[in-house]
Amino acid sequence: MNTPVDATSEENADATTVTSADAPTDTPVSTPATQSTPERPRLFSLSQRIGRLRYFAYTLIGMVGCALLLVLIYLLALLLPVELGRMISTIAFVLVKSLVIPLIVFTLTMRRLRDFNLSGWWALTILMPLVTLAYLFIPGTRGENRFGPPPAPNPPSLRFISIAIPIALLSVYFSLYGGKGSLDGSAPATPGIKALPAGPGLKAY
């Protein structure tokens, strides 16, 4: 049989338990972070933002890839009959020049425009002269914009590619065309040898 003192103690204990359960705590509740983190870049992505250096490097990589593709097609065309090889080489050159290269530039320009919070439709401005060069100097939006988080920092390898590819292309150009005649296509003058008179010009058809 419970005494009145024991019943009162049990009621006080229950009240203390309810009060402690309902009382607010000072411990902060963890919430998920809302700050955006840079996305890992993907070369063939159609939605990611890219910065100025990545825009330049990706364009160079695309151009070099198209050139290597054409060289491979030309080498394979040498194994075919002359007329068939010539036709395949011509078709490949026209497709790469008129379709593949514009598509690469247009896609990369869309991603570059999104970096400074502009719609991809502005990529049609690449049809205007020197507009593509302007996109190499316009800084992007700091932090997240309506097209997603900012681009990831540029790795050292990307900086190396942006420097090495132009130097390699210039070296190839000057090794092939540098010092071979003047700008008008005439042969360079040789000391001690009298230059021959120029022949009649080719008739245009």
- Judge whether 114 lies within some domain: yes
Selection from 31, 43, 40, 56 nearest residue 149 by Cα? 40
* Residue 134 resides in a domain: yes
Residue 151 contacts residue 53 (beta carbons within 8 Å): no
Q: Give CA separation, 65 vs 2, 28, 59, 158, in Å.
A: 92, 54, 10, 16
Please check whether residue 184 lies inside any domain of the structure: no
Q: Dihedrals φ, ψ of 151, to 5°?
A: -65, 155
Lowest-pLDDT range, 13-27, 30-44, 110-124?
Answer: 13-27
Q: What is the pLDDT of residues 54-106, one digit of tens each?
A: 999 999 999 999 999 999 999 999 999 999 999 999 999 999 999 999 999 99
Q: In the numeric block, which tokens belong to residue 30?
A: 């963890």
Q: Where are the beta strands (DSSP E) in 123-203?
A: none
Instruction: Output the pTM of the full model.
Output: 0.64
Burial 98-126 (b: 16+ CB within 10 A, else e): eebbeebbebbbbbbbbbbebebebbeeb
Q: Is the pLDDT of residue 28 over 50?
A: no
Position 21 in a domain: no
pLDDT of residue 36: 60
* Per-residue pLDDT tens digits for 164-201: 988 988 998 888 887 554 445 454 444 554 544 544 44
40 occurs within a structural domain: no
Total tally of structural domains belonging to the chain: 1
* Sign for the pseudo-dihedral over CA of 167, 173, 175, 178: negative
- Give the domain range for residue 96: 52-175
Let me know if residue 7 belongs to a domain.
no
